Amino acid sequence: MVMQLQTEHELHGRRRSRNVGLGIVLIAFVALVFALTVVKVTQGHLLEAYDHQPRTTLLPMEPEAAAPAAEAAR
Amino acid sequence: MTDINAADANAYHAAAPEAEFRDYVALLKPRVMSLVVFTAFVGLWIAPVDVHPFLAFCAVLFIALGGGASGALNMWYDADIDAVMKRTQLRPIPSGRVEPGEALAVGLALSGLAVMMLGLVANWFAAAFLAFTIFFYAVVYTMWLKRWTPQNIVIGGAAGAFPPMIGWACATGGISIESLLMFALIFFWTPPHFWALALFMKDDYKDAGVPMLTVTHGRAVTRRHIFAYTLVLAGFSIWLGLTSVGGPVYLAVALVLNAAFIRGGWQVLRREEGAARADGFATEKRVFRLSLSYLFLHFLALLIQNWMGTW
Protein backbone atom coordinates (compact mmCIF):
# COMPACT_ATOMS: atom_id res chain seq x y z
CA MET A 1 0.00 0.00 0.00
CA VAL A 2 1.41 3.37 -1.03
CA MET A 3 1.33 6.07 1.59
CA GLN A 4 1.58 9.48 0.00
CA LEU A 5 2.76 12.17 2.32
CA GLN A 6 3.32 15.63 0.96
CA THR A 7 6.61 16.79 2.41
CA GLU A 8 5.90 20.49 2.05
CA HIS A 9 2.28 21.37 2.75
CA GLU A 10 0.87 24.87 3.04
CA LEU A 11 0.32 24.04 6.71
CA HIS A 12 4.08 23.81 7.22
CA GLY A 13 4.47 27.33 5.87
CA ARG A 14 1.93 28.62 8.39
CA ARG A 15 3.66 26.84 11.27
CA ARG A 16 7.04 28.15 10.12
CA SER A 17 5.68 31.69 9.99
CA ARG A 18 4.43 31.32 13.58
CA ASN A 19 7.70 29.88 14.83
CA VAL A 20 9.89 32.42 13.08
CA GLY A 21 7.63 35.29 14.18
CA LEU A 22 7.65 34.18 17.80
CA GLY A 23 11.41 33.64 17.68
CA ILE A 24 12.00 37.16 16.39
CA VAL A 25 9.66 38.63 19.04
CA LEU A 26 11.44 36.76 21.86
CA ILE A 27 14.92 37.75 20.67
CA ALA A 28 13.76 41.38 20.29
CA PHE A 29 12.30 41.30 23.82
CA VAL A 30 15.55 40.00 25.31
CA ALA A 31 17.53 42.67 23.45
CA LEU A 32 15.09 45.33 24.61
CA VAL A 33 15.32 44.30 28.27
CA PHE A 34 19.12 44.26 28.02
CA ALA A 35 19.21 47.74 26.46
CA LEU A 36 16.72 48.95 29.05
CA THR A 37 18.94 47.67 31.84
CA VAL A 38 21.98 49.43 30.36
CA VAL A 39 20.07 52.72 30.05
CA LYS A 40 18.60 52.45 33.55
CA VAL A 41 21.96 51.66 35.12
CA THR A 42 23.90 54.36 33.27
CA GLN A 43 21.28 57.12 33.07
CA GLY A 44 19.01 56.48 35.98
CA HIS A 45 21.42 55.94 38.84
CA LEU A 46 20.05 58.95 40.69
CA LEU A 47 16.47 57.83 40.36
CA GLU A 48 14.45 55.66 42.62
CA ALA A 49 12.61 52.96 40.76
CA TYR A 50 9.19 53.35 42.26
CA ASP A 51 8.42 56.94 41.34
CA HIS A 52 11.39 58.31 39.36
CA GLN A 53 11.97 61.12 41.81
CA PRO A 54 15.54 62.27 42.47
CA ARG A 55 17.06 60.41 45.38
CA THR A 56 18.07 63.20 47.70
CA THR A 57 20.61 61.09 49.56
CA LEU A 58 22.54 60.56 46.32
CA LEU A 59 22.36 64.12 44.96
CA PRO A 60 25.57 66.19 45.22
CA MET A 61 25.40 68.61 48.15
CA GLU A 62 24.85 72.31 47.34
CA PRO A 63 27.82 74.53 48.42
CA GLU A 64 25.55 76.65 50.69
CA ALA A 65 24.16 73.54 52.31
CA ALA A 66 27.61 71.96 52.57
CA ALA A 67 29.15 74.88 54.54
CA PRO A 68 26.97 74.69 57.69
CA ALA A 69 27.26 70.91 57.60
CA ALA A 70 31.06 71.19 57.58
CA GLU A 71 30.86 73.80 60.38
CA ALA A 72 28.77 71.47 62.49
CA ALA A 73 31.18 68.63 61.90
CA ARG A 74 34.09 70.66 63.34
CA MET B 1 -5.32 1.00 7.12
CA THR B 2 -6.17 4.49 5.88
CA ASP B 3 -4.34 6.13 3.02
CA ILE B 4 -3.20 9.62 3.79
CA ASN B 5 -2.81 11.69 0.69
CA ALA B 6 -2.50 15.31 -0.27
CA ALA B 7 -6.19 15.68 -1.10
CA ASP B 8 -7.24 14.47 2.36
CA ALA B 9 -4.72 16.74 4.02
CA ASN B 10 -5.90 19.74 2.02
CA ALA B 11 -9.54 19.01 2.83
CA TYR B 12 -8.74 18.68 6.53
CA HIS B 13 -6.75 21.88 6.71
CA ALA B 14 -9.28 23.82 4.62
CA ALA B 15 -11.88 22.92 7.27
CA ALA B 16 -9.63 23.91 10.16
CA PRO B 17 -7.09 26.46 8.90
CA GLU B 18 -4.12 27.08 11.15
CA ALA B 19 -3.14 30.58 12.11
CA GLU B 20 -0.14 32.39 10.69
CA PHE B 21 1.89 34.81 12.76
CA ARG B 22 0.10 37.74 11.14
CA ASP B 23 -3.23 36.43 12.46
CA TYR B 24 -1.97 36.93 16.00
CA VAL B 25 -0.77 40.40 15.02
CA ALA B 26 -4.25 41.10 13.61
CA LEU B 27 -5.71 40.20 17.03
CA LEU B 28 -3.95 43.29 18.40
CA LYS B 29 -5.84 45.61 16.01
CA PRO B 30 -2.75 47.27 14.49
CA ARG B 31 -4.72 50.16 12.98
CA VAL B 32 -6.18 51.13 16.35
CA MET B 33 -2.72 50.63 17.82
CA SER B 34 -1.29 53.24 15.43
CA LEU B 35 -3.60 55.85 16.99
CA VAL B 36 -2.54 54.74 20.47
CA VAL B 37 1.15 54.92 19.53
CA PHE B 38 0.89 58.38 18.03
CA THR B 39 -1.22 60.02 20.74
CA ALA B 40 0.77 58.38 23.58
CA PHE B 41 4.01 59.52 21.96
CA VAL B 42 2.77 63.11 21.65
CA GLY B 43 1.54 63.07 25.28
CA LEU B 44 4.94 61.85 26.45
CA TRP B 45 7.00 64.11 24.20
CA ILE B 46 5.29 67.43 24.94
CA ALA B 47 5.25 66.83 28.72
CA PRO B 48 7.45 69.30 30.60
CA VAL B 49 9.83 66.57 31.86
CA ASP B 50 12.64 65.16 29.72
CA VAL B 51 12.66 61.41 29.24
CA HIS B 52 15.57 59.42 27.84
CA PRO B 53 14.70 58.68 24.17
CA PHE B 54 15.08 54.91 24.62
CA LEU B 55 12.89 54.92 27.72
CA ALA B 56 10.33 57.01 25.79
CA PHE B 57 10.43 54.46 22.96
CA CYS B 58 9.93 51.57 25.39
CA ALA B 59 7.12 53.37 27.22
CA VAL B 60 5.21 54.00 23.98
CA LEU B 61 5.88 50.41 22.87
CA PHE B 62 4.35 48.97 26.04
CA ILE B 63 1.41 51.38 26.00
CA ALA B 64 0.76 50.18 22.44
CA LEU B 65 1.13 46.56 23.53
CA GLY B 66 -1.41 47.14 26.30
CA GLY B 67 -3.77 48.68 23.74
CA GLY B 68 -3.23 45.69 21.47
CA ALA B 69 -3.87 43.26 24.33
CA SER B 70 -7.20 44.93 25.06
CA GLY B 71 -7.99 44.60 21.33
CA ALA B 72 -7.38 40.83 21.57
CA LEU B 73 -9.68 40.61 24.60
CA ASN B 74 -12.29 42.58 22.67
CA MET B 75 -12.03 40.18 19.71
CA TRP B 76 -12.34 37.19 22.06
CA TYR B 77 -15.53 38.49 23.65
CA ASP B 78 -17.08 39.94 20.47
CA ALA B 79 -16.43 36.95 18.21
CA ASP B 80 -20.18 36.31 17.88
CA ILE B 81 -20.90 39.90 16.79
CA ASP B 82 -17.85 39.98 14.50
CA ALA B 83 -19.12 36.89 12.68
CA VAL B 84 -22.34 38.74 11.77
CA MET B 85 -20.95 42.10 10.67
CA LYS B 86 -19.48 42.31 7.16
CA ARG B 87 -16.75 44.70 8.30
CA THR B 88 -15.39 42.19 10.85
CA GLN B 89 -16.17 38.77 9.35
CA LEU B 90 -12.59 38.25 8.20
CA ARG B 91 -11.07 38.82 11.65
CA PRO B 92 -8.97 35.88 12.93
CA ILE B 93 -11.60 34.35 15.27
CA PRO B 94 -14.77 34.52 13.12
CA SER B 95 -12.79 33.25 10.13
CA GLY B 96 -11.68 30.24 12.24
CA ARG B 97 -7.94 30.86 12.02
CA VAL B 98 -7.53 31.55 15.75
CA GLU B 99 -9.37 29.78 18.56
CA PRO B 100 -11.25 32.06 21.00
CA GLY B 101 -9.29 30.57 23.91
CA GLU B 102 -6.02 31.47 22.19
CA ALA B 103 -7.14 35.07 21.76
CA LEU B 104 -8.08 35.23 25.45
CA ALA B 105 -4.68 33.83 26.45
CA VAL B 106 -2.84 36.26 24.17
CA GLY B 107 -4.88 39.18 25.52
CA LEU B 108 -4.35 38.32 29.19
CA ALA B 109 -0.65 37.49 28.82
CA LEU B 110 0.16 40.64 26.85
CA SER B 111 -1.90 42.79 29.26
CA GLY B 112 0.15 41.56 32.21
CA LEU B 113 3.41 41.93 30.34
CA ALA B 114 2.63 45.45 29.10
CA VAL B 115 1.60 46.72 32.56
CA MET B 116 4.60 45.19 34.33
CA MET B 117 7.07 46.46 31.75
CA LEU B 118 5.58 49.97 31.72
CA GLY B 119 5.93 50.04 35.50
CA LEU B 120 9.61 49.13 35.19
CA VAL B 121 10.30 51.44 32.26
CA ALA B 122 8.43 54.53 33.47
CA ASN B 123 6.55 54.53 36.77
CA TRP B 124 3.80 52.59 38.53
CA PHE B 125 1.26 55.38 38.23
CA ALA B 126 1.45 55.14 34.44
CA ALA B 127 1.35 51.33 34.68
CA ALA B 128 -1.77 51.41 36.87
CA PHE B 129 -3.32 53.86 34.41
CA LEU B 130 -2.59 51.43 31.56
CA ALA B 131 -4.10 48.55 33.55
CA PHE B 132 -7.23 50.62 34.15
CA THR B 133 -7.44 51.48 30.44
CA ILE B 134 -7.25 47.79 29.46
CA PHE B 135 -9.93 46.98 32.06
CA PHE B 136 -12.09 49.85 30.84
CA TYR B 137 -11.93 48.78 27.19
CA ALA B 138 -12.22 45.02 27.72
CA VAL B 139 -14.73 44.93 30.57
CA VAL B 140 -16.58 48.26 30.86
CA TYR B 141 -16.90 48.91 27.11
CA THR B 142 -16.79 45.47 25.45
CA MET B 143 -18.59 43.32 28.02
CA TRP B 144 -20.97 45.85 29.47
CA LEU B 145 -21.70 49.03 27.49
CA LYS B 146 -21.42 47.85 23.90
CA ARG B 147 -24.41 45.52 23.96
CA TRP B 148 -26.46 47.49 26.47
CA THR B 149 -26.66 51.21 25.68
CA PRO B 150 -26.51 53.49 22.63
CA GLN B 151 -24.10 55.57 24.71
CA ASN B 152 -21.57 52.72 24.26
CA ILE B 153 -19.39 54.79 21.95
CA VAL B 154 -19.58 57.88 24.14
CA ILE B 155 -18.48 56.29 27.43
CA GLY B 156 -16.34 53.58 25.82
CA GLY B 157 -14.49 56.29 23.90
CA ALA B 158 -12.66 57.04 27.15
CA ALA B 159 -10.53 53.93 26.62
CA GLY B 160 -9.17 55.34 23.36
CA ALA B 161 -8.69 58.74 24.96
CA PHE B 162 -6.43 57.61 27.81
CA PRO B 163 -3.16 56.96 25.84
CA PRO B 164 -1.95 60.60 25.70
CA MET B 165 -2.65 60.86 29.44
CA ILE B 166 -0.62 57.69 30.03
CA GLY B 167 2.19 59.09 27.88
CA TRP B 168 2.10 62.32 29.90
CA ALA B 169 2.06 60.30 33.14
CA CYS B 170 5.15 58.35 31.98
CA ALA B 171 7.09 61.61 31.87
CA THR B 172 5.59 63.53 34.79
CA GLY B 173 4.28 60.80 37.08
CA GLY B 174 0.86 62.46 37.26
CA ILE B 175 -1.96 64.24 35.42
CA SER B 176 -2.55 67.90 34.64
CA ILE B 177 -4.99 70.16 32.84
CA GLU B 178 -3.05 69.67 29.59
CA SER B 179 -3.30 65.88 29.72
CA LEU B 180 -6.98 66.10 30.72
CA LEU B 181 -7.66 68.31 27.69
CA MET B 182 -5.86 65.87 25.38
CA PHE B 183 -8.14 63.20 26.84
CA ALA B 184 -11.19 65.42 26.22
CA LEU B 185 -10.09 66.01 22.62
CA ILE B 186 -10.20 62.27 21.81
CA PHE B 187 -13.17 61.59 24.08
CA PHE B 188 -15.45 64.10 22.32
CA TRP B 189 -14.02 63.24 18.89
CA THR B 190 -14.92 59.54 19.18
CA PRO B 191 -18.76 59.77 19.01
CA PRO B 192 -19.02 61.87 15.80
CA HIS B 193 -16.30 59.70 14.24
CA PHE B 194 -18.11 56.41 14.94
CA TRP B 195 -21.61 57.75 14.35
CA ALA B 196 -20.54 59.00 10.90
CA LEU B 197 -19.32 55.43 10.25
CA ALA B 198 -22.58 53.98 11.60
CA LEU B 199 -24.58 56.17 9.19
CA PHE B 200 -23.07 54.54 6.12
CA MET B 201 -22.44 51.05 7.58
CA LYS B 202 -26.14 51.14 8.28
CA ASP B 203 -27.18 47.48 8.48
CA ASP B 204 -24.10 45.99 10.13
CA TYR B 205 -24.82 47.09 13.70
CA LYS B 206 -28.53 46.36 13.34
CA ASP B 207 -27.87 42.80 12.14
CA ALA B 208 -25.46 42.22 15.03
CA GLY B 209 -27.91 43.61 17.60
CA VAL B 210 -25.49 46.30 18.77
CA PRO B 211 -27.54 49.23 20.12
CA MET B 212 -25.87 51.95 18.10
CA LEU B 213 -27.61 55.32 18.17
CA THR B 214 -28.65 54.85 14.52
CA VAL B 215 -30.51 51.67 15.52
CA THR B 216 -32.10 52.77 18.82
CA HIS B 217 -32.92 56.44 18.19
CA GLY B 218 -32.89 56.71 14.42
CA ARG B 219 -30.70 58.38 11.88
CA ALA B 220 -32.06 61.91 12.30
CA VAL B 221 -31.17 61.89 16.01
CA THR B 222 -27.71 60.54 15.16
CA ARG B 223 -27.18 63.40 12.71
CA ARG B 224 -28.13 65.94 15.42
CA HIS B 225 -25.76 64.27 17.89
CA ILE B 226 -22.87 64.39 15.40
CA PHE B 227 -23.32 68.13 14.92
CA ALA B 228 -23.68 68.80 18.67
CA TYR B 229 -20.49 66.89 19.43
CA THR B 230 -18.49 68.82 16.82
CA LEU B 231 -19.43 72.01 18.70
CA VAL B 232 -18.42 70.66 22.13
CA LEU B 233 -15.24 69.22 20.63
CA ALA B 234 -14.26 72.60 19.20
CA GLY B 235 -14.40 74.14 22.68
CA PHE B 236 -11.95 71.63 24.15
CA SER B 237 -9.69 71.82 21.10
CA ILE B 238 -9.33 75.60 21.41
CA TRP B 239 -8.95 75.44 25.21
CA LEU B 240 -6.00 73.05 24.77
CA GLY B 241 -4.37 75.69 22.57
CA LEU B 242 -4.52 78.20 25.44
CA THR B 243 -2.61 75.98 27.89
CA SER B 244 1.14 75.58 28.33
CA VAL B 245 1.36 73.07 25.45
CA GLY B 246 -0.41 75.40 23.01
CA GLY B 247 0.79 78.21 20.81
CA PRO B 248 -0.06 80.15 17.65
CA VAL B 249 0.62 77.24 15.27
CA TYR B 250 -1.57 74.80 17.19
CA LEU B 251 -4.29 77.39 17.59
CA ALA B 252 -4.33 78.23 13.87
CA VAL B 253 -4.49 74.53 12.94
CA ALA B 254 -7.23 73.93 15.54
CA LEU B 255 -9.32 76.84 14.23
CA VAL B 256 -9.15 75.60 10.63
CA LEU B 257 -9.84 71.95 11.53
CA ASN B 258 -12.76 72.81 13.81
CA ALA B 259 -14.31 75.11 11.21
CA ALA B 260 -14.09 72.24 8.68
CA PHE B 261 -15.44 69.64 11.11
CA ILE B 262 -18.35 71.84 12.28
CA ARG B 263 -19.18 72.55 8.63
CA GLY B 264 -19.11 68.80 7.93
CA GLY B 265 -21.32 68.13 10.97
CA TRP B 266 -23.76 70.80 9.75
CA GLN B 267 -23.90 69.22 6.28
CA VAL B 268 -24.55 65.79 7.83
CA LEU B 269 -27.31 67.34 9.96
CA ARG B 270 -29.02 68.98 6.96
CA ARG B 271 -28.95 65.87 4.77
CA GLU B 272 -32.18 64.21 3.73
CA GLU B 273 -32.04 60.43 4.07
CA GLY B 274 -33.12 59.96 0.44
CA ALA B 275 -30.39 62.25 -0.87
CA ALA B 276 -27.80 60.48 1.28
CA ARG B 277 -28.84 57.08 -0.06
CA ALA B 278 -28.86 58.40 -3.63
CA ASP B 279 -25.21 59.49 -3.56
CA GLY B 280 -24.02 56.51 -1.51
CA PHE B 281 -23.58 58.54 1.71
CA ALA B 282 -20.86 60.67 0.11
CA THR B 283 -21.07 63.45 2.72
CA GLU B 284 -21.07 61.03 5.66
CA LYS B 285 -18.04 59.24 4.24
CA ARG B 286 -16.26 62.55 3.69
CA VAL B 287 -16.92 63.62 7.29
CA PHE B 288 -15.67 60.24 8.52
CA ARG B 289 -12.41 60.69 6.58
CA LEU B 290 -12.17 64.28 7.79
CA SER B 291 -12.50 63.07 11.39
CA LEU B 292 -9.43 60.86 10.90
CA SER B 293 -7.37 63.80 9.63
CA TYR B 294 -8.83 66.04 12.36
CA LEU B 295 -7.35 64.01 15.20
CA PHE B 296 -4.05 63.23 13.52
CA LEU B 297 -3.43 66.88 12.58
CA HIS B 298 -4.33 68.12 16.09
CA PHE B 299 -1.69 65.92 17.68
CA LEU B 300 0.80 66.67 14.92
CA ALA B 301 0.23 70.39 15.56
CA LEU B 302 0.95 69.84 19.28
CA LEU B 303 4.22 68.17 18.34
CA ILE B 304 5.22 70.95 15.94
CA GLN B 305 4.22 73.60 18.48
CA ASN B 306 6.39 71.91 21.11
CA TRP B 307 9.33 71.92 18.69
CA MET B 308 8.79 75.59 17.79
CA GLY B 309 8.20 76.68 21.38
CA THR B 310 4.94 77.07 23.25
CA TRP B 311 3.28 80.19 24.72
Q: What is the pLDDT of residues B27-52, one digit of tens each?
A: 999 988 898 999 999 999 999 999 99
Same domain, B274 and B295: yes
Q: Which amino acid is at B85?
A: M
How does residue B1 score in pLDDT terms, banded at 50, 70 and 90?
very low
Are B184 and B141 contained in the same domain?
no
Residues B71 and B104 in one domain: yes
The whole-number pLDDT of residue B310 equals 83
Q: Assess whether B141 and B252 both reside in one domain.
A: no
Within-domain flag for B170: no
Distance from the B229 Cα atom to the nearest Cα atom in chain A, whole angstroms: 38
Has the ipTM of the complex gone over 0.85?
Answer: no
d(CA B243, CA B48): 12
The Cα-based distances of A5 to B12, B134, B212, B234, B266 in angstroms read: 14, 46, 51, 65, 65
B143 and B222 belong to one structural domain: no
**Which has more pLDDT, B140 or A48?**
B140
Range of the domain at A14: 10-73
Residue A2 lies in a domain: no
**B291: pLDDT strictly greater than 60:** yes
pLDDT tens per residue across span B120-129? 999 999 999 9
Poorest-pLDDT segment among A47-56, B57-66, B195-204, B270-279:
A47-56
Does the structure show a pLDDT above 50 at B307? yes
Please list, in sequence order, all residues whose beta carbon lies within 8 angstroms of the beta carbon of residue B65, skipping any fewer than 6 positions away: B28, B110, B113, B114, B117
What is the rounded average pLDDT for all residues in chain A? Answer: 75
Domain boundary among B117, B144, B165: B165
Q: Do A22 and B22 touch (CB under 8 A)?
A: no
Smallest CA-to-CA distance from A41 within B54, B202, B43 is with B54
Q: Would residue A60 be called left, alpha or beta, if left means φ above 0 and alpha means ψ between -120 and 50 degrees?
A: beta
Number of domains in chain B: 2
CB contact at 8 A, B145 and B156? yes
Q: Computed from CA positions of residues B203, B206, B212, B216, in that sequence, does the dihedral angle turn out positive or negative?
A: positive
Determine, yes or no, domain membership for B14. no
The number of residues making up chain A comes to: 74
Q: How far is B306 from B26, CA to CA, in rounded Å?
A: 33
Best probe of the B interface among A7, A10, A14, by most B CBs < 10 A, is A14
Q: Which residue range(s) make up the domain with B219?
A: 176-311
Verify that B202 and B244 share a domain, yes or no: yes
Q: Is residue A67 part of a domain?
A: yes
End-to-end CA distance of chain B: 82
* Interface contact B173-A51, CB threshold 8 A: yes
For B53-81, what is the mean pLDDT?
96
Identify whether residues B61 and B139 lie together within a single domain: yes
- B233 and B154 fall within a common domain: no
- B230-256 burial, b at 16+ Cβ within 10 Å, e below that, comes to beebbebbbebbebebbbebbbebbee
Chain A residues with CB-CB distance to B21 below 8 A: 17-18, 20-22
Boundary residue ending a domain (B110, B144, B165): B165
Amino acid letter, B54: F
- CB of A1 less than 8 A from some CB of B: yes
- Same-domain check for residues B210 and B136: no
- CATH of residue B29's domain is 1.10.357.140
Residue B83, CA atoms < 13 Å, CB-side half-sphere: 11
**Range of lowest pLDDT (B9-13, B55-59, B82-86):** B9-13
Counted domains in chain A: 1
Which of B1, B121, B125 faces A1 most closely, judged by CB atoms? B1
**Quick one: B47 and B132 in the same domain?**
yes
Select from B165, B196, B221 the last residue of a domain: B165
Q: Are residues B181 and B155 in the same domain?
A: no
Q: Please write the tens of the pLDDT for every residue from B239-281.
A: 999 999 999 999 999 999 999 999 999 999 999 888 888 988 9
